[in-house]
Chains A and B, each alone.
Chain A
């Protein structure tokens, strides 16, 4: 994964996610999936990516104060997503990555969120996963590679 984070591209798209707004969760993920269809018209690849973006979006909407942003960078063989927010951050990263652990409020649970497996889904479906968090905010970076591309491996 030597060059994973060093390649440059001019295909960058930015999406804003509003904080504490649960009823639009998934709309940015859908927009990303539709947009990417022009670049990677492959159902299986788009599903994997869509799932990861959905989880990242849900976390920005549910667990942050002001929401955040989702940046989508498109390369020939992969897509890199960066989800950023400005707090409050994760109190305990290890716990946050444990399946079943969730601080989602009851109002989000009623809507089907808060199973505590979202980050694990991303980890599972992404080919590269990085997360850092402090009181100042959380940054999540992941990549999903288009495996069919012979240049990937």
Chain B
């Protein structure tokens, strides 16, 4: 699934408006612990979190995450968004909690898998 499709289907708000959203992902990792995300997120992942600390950019760029979804409409400060844009990290805003965001994504990925069979 592409990030574009993800944005349209959930729907999500794209904060890093200057970045393109053609990239794709096949899995999701939900965690607010940077160490856990650092260990598990890959370039195939979208990372769901409520962490808006600057350090999330470090983790996402090292692991080349396809995108970060911030739950609960947790608007990060402008500084974080512009740094993300510089580093090429797509940041999306979800109006749902991490539980709901994850639940919806789980269903979407499942449907996609079934559709592809």
Please give the residue numbers on chain A whose beta carbons come within 8 Å of chain B beta carbons, in ascending order.
Answer: 98-102, 109-110, 112, 114-116
Q: How far is the CA of A90 from the CA of B111 in the complex (A)?
A: 49
Determine the chain A residues whose CB is within 8 A of the CB of B32 once the complex forms: 112, 115
Interface secondary structure of A, over-half rule = loop
- Whether the pair A110, B33 counts as a contact (CB closer than 8 A) is yes
Cross-interface CB contact of B80 among A100, A109, A112, A115, cutoff 8 Å:
A100
Decide if B35 is an interface residue (CB 8 Å cutoff): yes
Q: B77 near A98 (CB under 8 angstroms)? A: yes
A115 touches B77 (CB 8 A): no
Residue B51 at the chain A interface, CB threshold 8 Å: yes
**Interface contact A100-B52, CB-CB below 8 Å:** yes
A59 to B51 CA separation, bound complex (whole angstroms):
18
- Report, nearest first, the 5 A-B pairs whose CB atoms are least far apart: A100-B52, A100-B53, A100-B76, A102-B53, A98-B77
Q: Does B93 contact A (CB under 8 A)?
A: no
The one of B33, B35, B52 in contact with A116, judged by C-beta atoms closer than 8 angstroms, is B52
In the assembled complex, the CB of B93 is this many whole angstroms from the nearest CB of chain A, namely 13
15 more CB-based (< 8 A) A-B contacts, given A100-B53, A112-B33, A115-B32: A99-B74, A100-B52, A100-B76, A100-B80, A101-B53, A102-B53, A109-B33, A109-B34, A110-B33, A112-B32, A114-B53, A115-B52, A115-B53, A116-B52, A116-B53
Query: B41 at the A/B interface (Cβ < 8 Å)?
Result: no
Say yes or no: A115 contacts B33, CB within 8 Å: no
Residues of chain A lying within 8 A (CB to CB) of residue B80: 100
CA distance in complex: A100, B50 (Å): 9
B81 to A: closest C-beta gap in Å: 12
Residues 58-78 of chain B, each 1 if its beta carbon lies under 8 Å from chain A, else 0: 000000000000000010110
Within 8 Å CB of A100, what residues of B? Answer: 51-53, 74, 76-77, 80
Contact, CB under 8 Å: A115 / B51: yes
In the bound assembly, the distance between CA atoms of A114 and B52 in angstroms comes to: 10
Q: What is the chain B residue whose CB lies nearest that of A98? A: B77
